[in-house]
Structure 1
């Protein structure tokens, strides 16, 4: 069961997963998707780790802190990449990634302070 205090982090991870998948799909539809290969790769990495983080929280995994810390780092990297492009889908993805990174870091800090 997810700790109610961490539910906002789980929701941020789920929202970010969707935003990253949508961004990757939209990048593939751009005129020259080859120029966006790093963005697409990071979108897919970020979506995968966001899904893993949400699942780890839902299961109350022993590795939730490590997974969420990794999620925050990958979200930041994905946001940095997406911010290089002036496209609505990249801007939306970057924003979602920043929210998720902040939520993950806050959750990790809150849990570590309790220990």
Structure 2
């Protein structure tokens, strides 16, 4: 795998792990109704980031298209998570922004 693919794949897998942790942590919060959108986006983002990481390893010709979608979903997840003051949400937003930036470079 090329170095740039490796770096982006690592960002994707770190983002997926942060999203999964955030979703599970959100389920433990007292006011879960306020966390519903966050949980939905966490799950979607984690799934997409794992898929993008797999596509990096395969060096798929469809990678730029997938990366553009990944950028959009990561940005949406980061925006939603940043609205919540929980540490897991803030950490997730940080990882989502980093992943979006890495995928943006791959989509170019």
- TM-score strictly above 0.5: yes
C-alpha separation between the residues in 1 aligned to 2:36 and 2:17? 18
The Cα of 1:108 is off from its aligned counterpart by 1.9
C-alpha separation between the residues in 2 aligned to 1:64 and 1:96? 20
5+ residue gaps, structure 1, are 110-115
Q: TM-score, normalised by structure 2?
A: 0.96
Partner of 2:34: 35
4+ aligned runs moved over 2 Å, structure 1? none
C-alpha separation between the residues in 2 aligned to 1:5 and 1:31? 41
Partner of 1:106: 105
5+ residue gaps, structure 2, are none
Equivalent pairs counted in the alignment come to 108
Q: TM-score, normalised by structure 1?
A: 0.91
Task: Pick the structure with greater CA Rg.
Answer: 1
Partner of 1:18: 17
